[in-house]
Amino acid sequence: MQEDVLGRSRVGGSDELDEYYARLAKLGAGALWTVANDIEPWYPQPRSIPMLWKYDELRPLVLESANLVTADDAGRRVVMLVNPEREELSAAVGLLYTGLQIMNPGESMTAHRHAASALRFVIEGEGAWTIVDGDRLEVGPGDFAITPGGTWHEHGNSSGSTPVIWQDGLDIPLVNMLDANFYQVHPELHQVPGRVVNTSLLTHGSILKPDGRTWSKPYSPLLAYPWEMTYEALNNLAKVSDGSPTDGIAMEYVNPHTGGSVMPTMGARMQMLRPSEATKAHRHTGSVVYQVAKGVGHSIVNGRRFDWKKNDIFCVPSWAWYEHVNEDPAEDACLFSFNDFPVMRNLGLFVEEALSENGGHQPEI
Ligand code: 1HN
């Protein structure tokens, strides 16, 4: 892209230069000024577009997958959500992956581990379980669970009648872009779970920290976050706080040892929009995948309106302006989301701004 600005590349074209570029290319080299303006954008230029995936449209196809392929043959039976310009990376937005995984009644899968980190948000069905590094977690609709990078994990559905559908979120496009992924099948194919279900919740899920416990791993020792505790926390905060103009009553699922994000590459939040609440527009670096946990409303992302209801999924690309509206005058709406903010923050790349009177400004970097 040519720009006639001093301080930017503004070299024109000529036969002599073309011939020079060709000789450079033969040596596996190139002239920076031919690409400088593209690789140094004035502000982020995401390839991802804002998208909404309607659960009512996807659900029949997710159910269909359970008749088309066995869980063991597929490894994981998942319908993934893909942004058109991110197909090569299997990303839903930016460097975040998401998909809808279905497990039939009585089904279970073998254990594996990978360098990429995963999280789950349960959408429907009773009986879901997952064993993460030997801790058997039993999760139901609205529950959030993590499978940090490097932990053995296997899942199943102990229900006799209902399929389980949960949303997976992974940092796999990021880890693959970094050429850092590894994968292993468990040598025994299955783990032996500990004696007590949800050990991590019983140990780390209260307001008290057990004496003498240390934790040095880079992710949360708490592996499952139940919906009831989450919703109670939001309601309690709403009693004493007006929340944020851009996010409503927003809370982060945290590592109880550090107060930081649940995993080093992904953070997760639940936010409550009170009846008829409309948030102010803002934007930030970092990508977000939303899942509507409760209620009806709409969001406007870079000028596109997405009408959503419970179980719908939508995404917000980096640096897109967005705002949310709860359309119900009597009921709250809750939005679960996960993001790559920990990556942005730890690399010093997180920038955020609210829409100002003059329509925004260039943030300081
Ligand atoms: C994975 O390991 C799971 O364990 C789900 O359930 C989805 C998508 C990409 C790569 C690994 C799982 C995945 C995945």
Q: Note the pTM of the prediction, 2 decimals.
A: 0.96
Q: Which pLDDT value is given to residue 134?
A: 97
Ligand 1 centroid, distance to 132 Cα (angstroms): 13
- State the distance from the centre of ligand 1 to the C-alpha of 263, rounded, in angstroms: 16
pLDDT digits (tens, 9 = 90+) for 223-272: 999 999 999 999 999 999 999 999 999 999 999 999 999 999 999 999 99
**Position in ligand 1 atom list of the atom nearest CA 80:** 8
Burial 279-291 (b: 16+ CB within 10 A, else e): bebbbbbbbbbbb
Q: Which residues of the chain have pLDDT under 70?
A: 1, 357-365
User: In this structure, are residues 312 and 52 in contact, taking their beta carbons and an 8 Å threshold?
Assistant: yes
- 16 CA to centre of ligand 1 in angstroms: 51
Nearest CA to ligand 1 atom 10: 172
Nearest CA to ligand 1 atom 6: 76
The strand order across the sheet containing 267-273 reads 51-53, 313-316, 288-294, 333-339, 267-273, 249-253
Domain boundaries, the chain: 51-209+219-353
What's at 315, amino acid-wise? Answer: C
**Closest C-alpha among 183, 195, 188 to residue 110:** 188
Query: What's the pLDDT tens digit per position in 62-94?
Result: 999 999 999 889 989 999 999 999 999 999 999
Pocket probe mutation, ligand 1, options 72, 76, 114, 166, max atoms within 8 Å of Cβ: 76
- Report the pLDDT value the prediction gives residue 363, as an integer from 0 to 100: 53
Residue nearest to atom 8 of ligand 1 (CA): 170
Question: Residue 356: its pLDDT value, please?
Answer: 73
Cα(351) to centroid(ligand 1), Å: 30
The DSSP result for 106-162, as a single string, is T-B---EEESS-EEEEEEE-S-EEEEETTEEEEE-TT-EEEE-TT--EEEEE--SS-
In 3D space, the residue among 94, 288, 100 whose CA is nearest the CA of residue 174 turns out to be 94
Q: Which residues sit with their C-beta closer than 6 Å to ligand 1?
A: 76, 78, 97, 99, 101, 118, 153, 155, 168, 170, 172
Question: Angle at the Cα of 312 (from 309 to 313), degrees rounded to 5?
Answer: 140
Please give the Cα distance from 309 to 55 (Å, whole number). Answer: 9
Query: What CATH homologous superfamily does 51-209+219-353 map to?
Result: Jelly Rolls (2.60.120.10)
